[in-house]
Amino acid sequence: MKSKTWSNLLRIALSLALLAWLLQQIGYEDVWAVLRQADLRLLGGAWLLFLLGIVIRTFRWRALLHGLEKYAGLGLRPPFWQLLRLYLVGGFFNAFLPSGFGGDVVRVLELAQDTETTAALGTVFVDRLTGILSLMMLGLLVLPFTRGLQPWLIWTLLALAGGGLFAGFLLLEGRLLRNLTAHLPGGLSLAGQGKLAQVYAAMTGCGPRAIGEALALSTLFNLLNIVVYWLCGLAVGIPVGLGFYFVVTTLLSLALLVPISVGGLGVRDWVAQPLFASVGIAEQVAAGMSLSYYAVTATAGLVGGILYFGQGLRGLVQTEPPET
């Protein structure tokens, strides 16, 4: 517990330090001036699209759970509204806790009360993985049609997306990694009956049809998320075409996989600087876009926080002993 507490405190401190250092370098007043003039109508539209994206991701998670039940005989069919609530609650923890995966952990723990833990963990992992793979594919597909990119930006996307797609294919294919790890000790092997092997069986047991549905829904979500970034950019006055955001969103999302910040604060802002500088956008404007996107996700996360709080209150009322 002590180690976990210190780790979380370190992430909080690192997030705030990165953000403070960035704002000091480019000027607090300049960033505040950009945010103060932001178009709230565009940010409101981005917020609504972000919420719609959560609904789409809920359908994706449900498809994987149904596929796991049908293809491998694991898991069960929780109601859609239960999954949506868990996704909203997960968004709250992702936005406000010092971990990039806190919301995923909450989803696993909550769903594991109604199904096997391995099924919950495996589908949550594949749910996240298909979203990342789809975003990489979109970035690569649009890359030839995006003009004005610096060579370093092109090569960075090619290396990260190309390597990520290859690794993702190996993970989902299953047989090769099982064969490669078959002779490792039980706790490290992806074959057999160990805990890790059971989780991997759930990951690869969703079936090709469910994986295909998840990738299709991920593509729809990522298109929406790219538009959310674009609207946040327009709101602070960034005159860059939508195509550029296919590249930016991919790289920003990959950077946020490293769980060293709270809701991406600091990390997203630092990574955004060179990306937007490559097309001539001032540092304070890029920081304004990044902070606007965090505001959109954080306010959407508050919806999940309210639901989680209400669930806790209902639990207290239901478990309160009767008066004598």
Q: What would the pLDDT profile of 125-180 be if each residue is shown by its tens digit?
A: 999 999 999 999 998 988 887 777 788 888 988 998 999 999 999 998 888 888 88
Among 49, 248, 58, 59, CA closest to 135: 248
Task: Return the pLDDT at 116.
Answer: 72
Q: Write out pLDDT tens, residues 188-211.
A: 888 877 888 888 888 888 888 999
Q: Which of 10-24, 94-108, 142-156, 212-226 has the lowest mean pLDDT?
A: 10-24
Task: Return the pLDDT at 132.
Answer: 92
Q: Cβ neighbours of residue 114 under 8 Å, at least 6 residues apart? A: 76, 78
**Residue range 92-120: mean pLDDT, rounded:** 74
Task: Return the pLDDT at 254.
Answer: 82
Does the pLDDT of residue 269 top 60, yes or no? Answer: yes
Task: Let me know if 248 is exposed, middle or buried by CB neighbors in 10 A (0-12, 13-18, 19+).
Answer: buried
Among 104, 123, 140, 129, CA closest to 215: 129
Task: Return the pLDDT at 283.
Answer: 85
Query: What share of residues in the chain are helix, strand, coil (percent, to 5)?
Result: 80, 0, 20
Q: Cβ neighbours of residue 309 under 8 Å, at least 6 residues apart? A: none
Task: Return the pLDDT at 313.
Answer: 62
Q: What are the helix (H) ranges across 143-190? A: 151-173, 175-181
Which residue type is seen at 90? G
**Residue range 111-118: mean pLDDT, rounded:** 74
What Å distances lie between residue 308 and 1, 127, 305, CA to CA? 23, 22, 5
CA within 13 Å, CB half, 280: 4
At 99, the pLDDT band (50, 70, 90 cuts) reads low
pTM attached to this predicted model: 0.82
Residues, the chain, total?
324
Q: Write out pLDDT tens, residues 170-187.
A: 998 888 888 888 888 877
Does the pLDDT of residue 45 top 60, yes or no? Answer: yes
Q: 3-state class of 28 per DSSP?
A: helix
Phi, psi of 233 (to 5 degrees): -65, -45
CB 128 within 8 A of CB 64: no
Residue 25, number of CB atoms within 10 A of its CB: 11
User: CA–CA separation, 70 vs 249, rounded Å?
Assistant: 34
Domain ranges in the chain are 14-316
